[in-house]
Structure 1
């Protein structure tokens, strides 16, 4: 499996987890007002149905009929992580030749997307917590069985 490097470096404080998976752009976004709260946000590919809720599954107050700031931040960080072209292609967004995060967001909101199902939030948050658990491990050179799918830097004969 080939690992694609980040399009540009990004800061993890605002959006610590972002992924293109399960037919959605999804991730975890930090709250701007409460350091102990995070939001699980997602946008469905093709329909742009969106969902945003806290880690306790309470709905986001800003996601009422339009993209909230958490979803906008998620799109922006996804563009930094994967590049605008890849994000637009995955979400099936038609944008100009040189898209950026604003162009991708504007194209999706122009279609007046509906609020989507928040049921995937638990799975996304669980994957985020699993990724955080790796940060707590002591440094070692011993292989971790669950990480063996990661490619190595040495050539395989």
Structure 2
């Protein structure tokens, strides 16, 4: 058994490549979905919460105010395409394809194309609120001043060495 398998810490994987956060500031593989927040191309004050379910490829896209995306009318909108592209940059094509249960794992367009071929349905946007809330929690940490004292909500992180 390796050190990290017997450790109480989670293994941290570095990003496949550095990402530019302006278009897709938040992307994660969680809760059986690829989900994240995508900036609007037309309004700097608007963001979209987009998600694609693993296996079924059911997708949802809505604004942070729960208004449906105008481009997601039975097909993946530009926000979902951007989310898939940034997920591949963050996690690598193989990991994203494996998580979403897509056979093709060469790049973002192959993953997206394979999911579109399965004719996914548009789902409800019930996951939008928790995803956006988590994004806001992440943003709050950026506003904290630099300090070495522990944060109470981060106490569950062990104070041991980082595992890579």
**TM-score between both structures, scaled by the size of structure 1:** 0.93
Sort the Cα spacing of 1:132 and 1:155 in 2 relative to 1 into closer, same or farther, 3 A.
Answer: closer
Say yes or no: does 1:80 pair with 2:89: yes
In 2, Cα distance between equivalents of 1:148 and 1:3: 17
Say yes or no: does 1:33 pair with 2:11: no
In 2, Cα distance between equivalents of 1:125 and 1:60: 15
In 2, Cα distance between equivalents of 1:126 and 1:60: 19
Q: Which residue of 2 is the match for residue 100 of structure 1? A: 107
Q: Post-superposition shift, 1:108?
A: 0.3
Identify which of 104, 117, 123 aligns with 1:110.
Answer: 117
CA contact (8 A) 1:3 1:151 kept: no
Q: Post-superposition shift, 1:152?
A: 5.7
Give unpaired runs (5+ residues) of structure 2: 1-9
Q: Post-superposition shift, 1:147?
A: 2.2
State the Cα RMSD in Å.
1.6
Deviation per CA, 1:46-99, whole angstroms, max 9, x where unpaired? 000000000000000000010000000000000001010000000000115xx1
Sort the Cα spacing of 1:153 and 1:77 in 2 relative to 1 into closer, same or farther, 3 A.
Answer: farther
In the TM superposition, 1:1-157 aligns within 5 A as 1-95=10-104, 99-150=106-157, 154=161
Give unpaired runs (5+ residues) of structure 1: none
**TM-score between both structures, scaled by the size of structure 2:** 0.90
Deviation per CA, 1:3-36, whole angstroms, max 9, x where unpaired? 1110000000000000000000000000000000
Q: Post-superposition shift, 1:148?
A: 3.5
